């Protein structure tokens, strides 16, 4: 069975949404947290509802609807989302009110919109889509789990034109807690110099990227999703990557570009550094987390990026690790890991 | 694609028992698990009944062989998942690919609530240990680590249908030849977050709930966890003891009507039940028992009832809501009720819908009022419907 990405839309801290250029107009910001650029939601959501919806719901709906429009599909065969923290803004709001109002006279809205399946549910509601609807919430492989679900559905021939996305919002409370947990750098820096001085911590991010995937190839398909592998605490990443490529009847020499999840944190980047001098030696490498920040579903940004790279045949300068020229890359491997535990491999080919 | 998915093991902990055997005794003796709130520090003590697991975190930690300072949700999960795996007793499991697909609705919220009180007063305060495992995925990870499972793991969260979707996802991992064995189900502990949340929606009954009764006034929240061990046909053939049954049908449909309320005609529920029948190749008349979602809220039971009337009428199977025993255990309900569905087939039982008195005006049928024994049950449908219109039906069939 073959899987094609028919369209994709990405809301991120960069100009990625409905943008004419492909990572050409790069946004630089100083701090340790990148915020997503808000699309004009009026195009996608009833203005009366916009005020009531949290950031993550709005980003998700905008990306999902744009994805459908690009693919010229009105009704997806399934809606599947991946998110680690879900609707964290509404969760924090409701928790705050429980404490401050000592459990009395609480308004229900924040609770209603706090469940992790709210984004997928709201997409179904807006589209009046009664089809398969699921939400996967497993830390650094939330998006991959959703994508895996979508690929299984295609394989089972249970659905086609599946809308699948990764969504994550960052709020002040989660940023503060994650900073205390040591995830982010202790001083402000430009996102564009994230890789200049390796040190502890990275920068936080957020975003929503959706994909319409199908088993039917069409002339305007973005890319083919050739393979997906989820790994938990692998003993040797290198061996598992070789196995993964082999299972797709490929070797590392067949890969034109490797997109890695390098995030500027010394410990996090160790494995990429090691691979850079072994399996990935002499490979053209690309990074993306300086553009969108680190978050549990950032691999959805990477998939959006890799799909557009094989479609357009151009690697944006801003993502290149070092200097290289690469004419129309056809096969891209994405390797990301989240806090060393969850690793994922995605293989994207030009159609 | 592999043909059948077999149920090789079951595990459950709820307000009516700390293991499957205890749950079964309570189901048969019509013993409900609701009572006053004793574990949570909330203003609703003595006001709202809940169905608590009758063990403290310290006691659960001993059973789970895990530290007592982690989320109660994780402790509950570890106990039932381990019971299910032990029950399956799969030979040479270390040579098989094993997965863990678990569900929950609010992750480590019970601990996050403690953290948040101090954090809100001062952002530099609050024990990080209490917030570290807030994510839903953390519950799954800790239990998978405890069980030594690393081939595949993920977490589902679709509100009250979460663990039915986890079982569904797990079965498909087997059918797609990703794993040979998967432990699937879900867990949730009582939290102030959910208690207050459901209270703001004014759908909590101040008395013990009365699902499908004309005078029903809402649900009682419960807690617990329930897991099935699903295995491929090949593994089923090598089992020491006979598998319980097969998972013959499943469907996930969306009501697409409202974020929390069900559509009056129960469109999502209808589509889920109809889809599960289609998947299993069965007719409506083949279903012997429906384990209802049956929360006890006016809206849910009305929608589910309408959908059953449309799909099954005029020949209705036996049906009951075991939430009349366990309360609504949210992300665990689909898992616990899947275990009860499997037990119904194995023990030839149909459980009563406790406290049922008056048939709903709008429905031409009513749930079972007394325990039915020696029932020849071939096919059981288990319904789980949730916020966000997420509706899932599973069908278990005797072998």
**Neighbour-count burial of B202, counting CB atoms closer than 10 A to its CB (0-12 exposed, 13-18 middle, 19+ buried):** exposed
- Distance set, CA B300 to CA A41, B195, B215, B232, B261 (Å): 33, 18, 13, 35, 8
Element (H, E) at B248: strand B245-254
> Are the C-beta atoms of residues B99 and B152 closer than 8 Å to each other?
yes
Residues B61 and B147 in one domain: yes
Choose one of B170, B205, B237: the last residue of a domain: B237
Contact at CB, A108 and B197, closer than 8 angstroms: yes
| Res A183: pLDDT | 97
pLDDT, tens only, A32-84: 999 999 999 999 999 999 999 999 999 999 999 999 999 999 999 999 999 99
Contact A119, A125 (CB under 8 A): no
B341 and B274 share a domain?
yes
A240 at the B interface (CB within 8 A)?
no
* CB contact at 8 A, A20 and A300: no
Residue B242 lies in a domain: no
Give the domain extent around B158: 6-237
Q: Which distant-in-sequence residues (6+ apart) come within 8 Å of B320 by Cβ?
A: B289, B290, B291, B292, B294, B350, B351, B352, B353, B367, B368
Q: Inter-chain contact B390–A155, Cβ cutoff 8 Å? A: no
Q: Distances from the Cα of B344 to the Cαs of A263, B28, B263, B316, in angstroms?
A: 52, 11, 30, 18
Q: What is the CATH number of the domain that holds B117?
A: 3.40.47.10
B220 and B263 part of one domain: no
- Asked if B256 and B360 sit in the same domain, the reply is yes
Band (B129; pLDDT cuts 50, 70, 90): very high
Tell me which residue of A23, A340, A19, A20 sits closest to A191, measured CA to CA.
A23
pLDDT for the residue numbered B3: 76
**Contact at 8 Å (CB) between B52 and B39?**
yes
Tell me the H-state helices in B217-290: 233-237, 267-280
Closest CA to B220 of B56, B47, B351: B47
Alpha carbon distance B112, B77 (integer Å): 18
- Last residue within a domain, chosen from B208, B237, B266: B237
Task: Report if pTM > 0.90.
Answer: yes
- φ/ψ of residue B313, rounded to 5: -55, 145
pLDDT at A198: 86
Q: What is the mean pLDDT of residues A269-296?
A: 98
In this structure, what are the phi and psi dihedrals at residue A291, rounded to the nearest 5 degrees?
A: -95, -35
Distance between B109 CA and the closest CA of chain A, angstroms: 10
Distant-in-sequence, close-in-space partners of B249: CB < 8 Å, separation ≥ 6: B276, B277, B278, B279, B280, B281, B282, B393, B394, B395, B397
Fold of the CATH domain A223-349: Peroxisomal Thiolase; Chain A, domain 1 (3.40.47)
Residues B72 and B199 reside in one and the same domain: yes
Are residues B277 and B222 located together in one domain of the fold? no
Q: Average of pLDDT values for A199-213?
A: 98
Residues B83, B74: Cα–Cα separation, whole Å: 14
Q: Which residues of B touch A99 (CB under 8 A)?
A: 116-117, 120
Backbone angles phi, psi at B325, to 5 degrees: -100, -50
Using a CB–CB cutoff of 8 Å, tell me whether A114 touches chain B.
yes
Q: Are A76 and A47 in contact (CB under 8 A)?
A: no
Beta carbons of B111 and B133 less than 8 angstroms apart? yes
Residue B54: pLDDT band with limits 50, 70, 90: very high
Question: What is the spatial distance between Cα B145 and Cα B137, in angstroms, rounded to a whole number?
Answer: 12
Residues 203-242 of B with CB under 8 A from A: none
Output the average pLDDT for chain B.
97
Residues paired with residue A286 on neighbouring β-strands, in sequence order:
A259, A320
Q: By percentage, how much of chain B surpasses pLDDT 70?
A: 99
B391 catalytically annotated? no
CB contact under 8 A, B176 and A112: no
Domain end (from B209, B237, B265): B237
pLDDT digits (tens, 9 = 90+) for B324-366: 999 999 999 999 999 999 999 999 999 999 999 999 999 999 9
For residue B168, name the pLDDT band (cuts at 50, 70, 90).
Answer: very high
**Residues B230, B287 within the same domain:** no
Q: Give the pLDDT score at B1.
A: 56
**Which residues from B are below 8 Å from A155, CB to CB?**
1, 176
List, for residues A153-171, the tens digit of each pLDDT value.
Answer: 999 999 999 999 999 999 9
Are residues B262 and B218 both part of a single domain?
no
- Cβ-Cβ contacts under 8 Å, B124 against chain A: 180
Check A121 against B153: CB less than 8 A apart.
Answer: no
Task: Write out residues 324-383 of B within 8 Å (CB-CB) of A.
Answer: none
- Strand ranges inside B262-397, DSSP E: 289-291, 318-320, 379-385, 390-397
Pick the CATH number of A4-214 from 3.40.47.10, 3.60.10.10, 3.40.30.10, 3.40.50.720: 3.40.47.10
Look at residue B38 in the predicted model and tell me its pLDDT. 97
CA atoms of A82 and A147, how far apart (whole Å): 8
Tens digit of each residue's pLDDT (9 = 90 or more) over A248-267: 999 999 999 999 999 999 99
Whether B379 sits among the annotated catalytic residues: the reply is no
**In terms of DSSP H, where are the helices of chain A?**
47-50, 55-71, 88-100, 109-112, 118-127, 142-155, 172-180, 237-247, 266-276, 289-292, 299-312
B125 shares its domain with B258: no
Q: Is the pLDDT reported for residue B44 higher than 60?
A: yes
| B138 and B266 belong to one structural domain | no
d(CA B316, CA B284): 9
Percent of the residues in chain A that have a pLDDT greater than 70, as a whole number = 100
CB distance from B179 to chain A under 8 Å?
Answer: no
Q: Does A339 touch chain B (CB under 8 A)?
A: no
Condensed to tens digits (0 to 9), the pLDDT of residues A78-92 reads: 999 999 999 999 999
Ranges of CATH 3.40.47.10 domains, chain A: 4-214, 223-349
Q: Where are the alpha helices (DSSP H) in chain B?
A: 20-28, 57-64, 72-88, 109-121, 128-131, 136-147, 162-175, 192-200, 233-237, 267-280, 298-312, 323-326, 333-347
Q: Is the pLDDT of residue B2 over 80?
A: no
Both tokens of A52, joined, read 């009531």
Q: Which residues, other chains included, contact A217 with Cβ-Cβ below 8 Å and sequence gap of 6+?
A: A2, A4, A224, A351
Question: Are B303 and B330 found together in one domain?
Answer: yes
Q: Find, among B293, B274, B291, B292, the residue nearest to B283 by Cα.
A: B274
Q: What is the mean pLDDT of residues B226-245?
A: 97
Instruction: Please say if the pLDDT value at position A197 is more than 90.
Output: no
User: How far apart are the C-alpha atoms of A56 and A119, rounded to whole Å?
Assistant: 7
Can you tell me the mean pLDDT for A132-145? Answer: 98
Per the structure, how many domains does chain B have?
2
**What are the tokens at A258?**
């490797």
- By the CB < 8 Å criterion, does B105 face chain A? yes
**Is residue B83 within 8 Å of B20, Cβ to Cβ?**
yes
Residue B138: band (very low, low, confident or very high) from pLDDT cuts 50, 70, 90: very high
Residue B1 inside a domain? The answer is no
Catalytic annotation on B160?
A: yes
Cα A127 from Cα A129, distance rounded (Å): 5
**Parallel, antiparallel or unpaired: strands B98-103 and B152-156:** parallel
Copy the structure tokens of residue A193: 């110099």
What's the CA gap between B159 and B252, in Å, rounded?
13
Residues B267 and B129 grouped into a single domain:
no
């Amino acid at each position: 069975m073959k899987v094609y990405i028919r369209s994709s839309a990405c809301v991120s801290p960069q100009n990625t949404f409905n943008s004419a250029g492909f990572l050409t107009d790069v946004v630089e910001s100083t701090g340790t947290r990148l915020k997503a650029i808000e699309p004009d939601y009026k195009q996608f959501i009833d203005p009366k509802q916009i005020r009531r919806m949290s950031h993550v719901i709005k980003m998700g709906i905008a990306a999902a609807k744009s994805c459908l429009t690009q693919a010229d599909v009105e009704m997806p065969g399934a809606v599947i989302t991946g998110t680690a923290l879900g609707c964290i803004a509404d969760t924090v709001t409701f928790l705050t009110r429980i404490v401050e109002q000592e459990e009395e006279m609480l308004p229900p809205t924040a609770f209603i919109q706090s469940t992790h399946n709210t984004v997928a549910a709201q997409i179904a509601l807006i589209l009046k889509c009664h089809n398969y609807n699921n939400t996967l919430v497993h830390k650094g492989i939330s998006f991959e789990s959703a994508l895996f679900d979508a690929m299984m559905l295609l394989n089972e021939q249970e659905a086609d034109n599946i809308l699948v996305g990764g969504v994550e919002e960052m709020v002040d409370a989660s940023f503060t807690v994650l900073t205390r947990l040591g995830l982010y750098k202790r001083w402000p820096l430009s996102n564009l110099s994230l890789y200049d001085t390796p040190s502890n911590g990275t920068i936080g991010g957020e975003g929503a990227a959706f994909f319409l995937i199908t088993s039917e190839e069409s002339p305007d398909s973005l890319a083919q999703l050739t393979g997906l592998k989820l790994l938990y605490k692998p003993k040797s990443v290198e061996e598992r990557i070789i196995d993964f490529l082999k299972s797709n009847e490929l070797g590392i020499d067949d890969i034109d570009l490797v997109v890695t999840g390098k995030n500027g944190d010394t410990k996090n980047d160790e494995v990429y550094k090691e691979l850079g001098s072994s399996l990935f030696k002499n490979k053209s490498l690309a990074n993306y987390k300086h553009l969108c920040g680190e978050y549990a579903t950032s691999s959805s940004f990477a998939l959006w990026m890799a799909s557009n790279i094989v479609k357009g045949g151009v690697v944006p300068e801003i993502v290149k690790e070092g200097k290289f020229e690469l004419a129309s890359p056809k096969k891209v491997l994405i390797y990301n890991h989240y806090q060393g535990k969850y690793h994922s491999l995605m293989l994207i080919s030009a159609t | 694609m592999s043909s059948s998915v077999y149920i090789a093991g079951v595990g459950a902990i709820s307000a009516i028992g700390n293991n499957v055997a205890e749950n079964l005794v309570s189901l048969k003796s019509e013993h409900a698990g609701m009572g006053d709130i004793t574990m949570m520090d909330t203003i609703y003590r003595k006001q709202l009944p809940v169905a608590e697991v009758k063990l403290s975190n310290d006691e659960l930690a001993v059973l789970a062989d895990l530290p007592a300072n982690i989320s109660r949700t994780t402790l509950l999960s570890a106990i039932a998942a381990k019971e299910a795996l032990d029950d399956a007793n799969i030979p040479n499991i270390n040579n098989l690919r094993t997965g863990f697909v678990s569900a929950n609705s609010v992750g480590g919220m019970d601990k996050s609530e403690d953290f948040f009180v101090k954090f809100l007063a001062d952002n530099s305060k609050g024990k990080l240990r209490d917030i570290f495992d807030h994510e839903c995925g953390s519950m799954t990870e800790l239990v998978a680590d405890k069980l030594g499972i690393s081939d595949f793991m993920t977490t589902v969260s679709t509100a009250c249908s979460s663990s039915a979707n986890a079982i569904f996802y797990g079965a498909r991992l087997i059918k797609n030849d990703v794993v040979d064995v998967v432990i699937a189900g879900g867990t949730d502990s009582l939290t102030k977050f959910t208690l207050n949340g459901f209270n703001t929606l004014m759908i909590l009954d101040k008395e013990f709930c009365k699902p499908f009764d004309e005078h029903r006034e809402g649900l009682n929240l419960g807690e617990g966890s329930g897991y099935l061990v699903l295995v491929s046909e090949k593994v089923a053939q090598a089992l020491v003891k006979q598998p319980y049954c097969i998972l013959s049908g499943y469907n996930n449909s969306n009501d697409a009507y409202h974020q929390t309320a069900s559509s009056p005609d129960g469109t999502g529920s209808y589509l889920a039940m109809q889809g599960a029948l289609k998947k299993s190749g069965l007719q409506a008349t083949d279903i012997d028992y429906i384990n209802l979602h049956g929360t006890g809220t006016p809206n849910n039971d009305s929608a589910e009832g309408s959908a059953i009337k449309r799909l099954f009428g005029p020949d209705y199977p036996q049906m009951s809501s075991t939430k009349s025993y366990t309360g609504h255990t949210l992300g665990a309900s689909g898992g616990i009720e899947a275990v009860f569905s499997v037990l119904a087939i194995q023990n030839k039982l149909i459980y009563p819908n406790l406290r049922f008195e008056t048939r709903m005006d709008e429905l031409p049928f009513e749930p079972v009022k007394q325990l039915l024994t020696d029932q020849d049950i071939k096919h059981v449908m288990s319904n789980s419907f949730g916020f966000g219109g997420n509706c899932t039906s599973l069908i278990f069939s005797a072998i």
